[in-house]
Amino acid sequence: MLLQLLDFALVLLSFGAVFIIPGYSLFQMRAVMQGKGYAPHVAHLYLTVASVAGVIVAYFAINFAWGFQTHLGGIDFVLCTVLPTAVVSLALFALTKLVPQQEGRKGGSRKTIDHQFWGRLCLGLIGVVVVGGVLAFATDIIDLKDRNIGGMKIGIWALIIFALYKYSQHLMRNAYKETVPTFEDKVETDPSPPVLYLRSFAEERLPFANVPFQEYPAYCSAPQWISLSPGIGWPVPLTFEEFFARSFEHEIGPLVALGSPEDYVMPEGAARHYAGDDDWKDRFLELINKASCIVTVVNNSSNLEWEYRQILEHGLQEKFFVFTRCFEQSRSIFAQTKNTLLSTLGKRGLRKFGQCVKW
The pLDDT value given to residue 286 = 93
Q: Is residue 3 part of a domain?
A: no
The pLDDT value given to residue 353 = 44
Count structural domains, the chain: 3
The pLDDT value given to residue 346 = 54
Same-domain pairing of 86 and 52:
yes
Q: Is residue 5 part of a domain?
A: no
Same-domain pairing of 139 and 85:
no
CB atoms within 10 A of CB 51: 22
Distances (CA, A) of 145 to 148, 153, 154: 9, 11, 12
Task: From 153, 179, 205, give the residue that closes a domain.
Answer: 179
Residues of the chain below pLDDT 70: 1-8, 10-11, 69-74, 103-112, 140-152, 224-233, 326-359
Amino acid at position 284, single letter: F
Q: Is residue 108 part of a domain?
A: no
Same-domain pairing of 202 and 333:
yes
Same-domain pairing of 238 and 262:
yes
Q: Is residue 69 part of a domain?
A: yes
- Are residues 294 and 309 in contact, defined by beta-carbon separation less than 8 angstroms? no
How many Å apart are CA 266 and CA 188, to the nearest integer?
Answer: 18
Q: Is residue 356 part of a domain?
A: no
| DSSP 3-state of 237 | strand
Read off the pLDDT of residues 176-218 as tens digits, 9 standing for 90 and up: 888 888 888 888 888 889 999 999 888 888 888 888 877 877 8
Using the 8-state DSSP alphabet, how is residue 96 labeled?
H
Amino acid at position 10, single letter: L
Exposure letters 145-168 (e unless 16+ CB within 10 A, then b): eeeeeeebbeebbebbbebbbebb
Distances (CA, A) of 60 to 47, 80, 319: 20, 11, 63
Task: From 62, 85, 103, give the residue that closes a domain.
Answer: 103
Same-domain pairing of 197 and 334:
yes
Same-domain pairing of 172 and 259:
no
Task: From 52, 81, 103, give the residue that closes a domain.
Answer: 103
Same-domain pairing of 250 and 296:
yes
Same-domain pairing of 83 and 17:
yes
Sheet with 293-297: strands ordered across: 271-273, 255-258, 195-198, 293-297, 320-323
- Are residues 286 and 195 in contact, defined by beta-carbon separation less than 8 angstroms? no
Enclosing domain of residue 99: 11-103
Same-domain pairing of 261 and 316:
yes
Contacting residues for 316 by C-beta, under 8 A, at least 6 apart: 288, 289, 294
How many Å apart are CA 284 and CA 28, to the nearest integer?
Answer: 34
Q: Is residue 294 part of a domain?
A: yes
Same-domain pairing of 313 and 257:
yes
Same-domain pairing of 91 and 129:
no
Same-domain pairing of 52 and 192:
no
Q: Is residue 357 part of a domain?
A: no
Q: Quick one: how far is CA 350 from the chain centroid?
A: 34
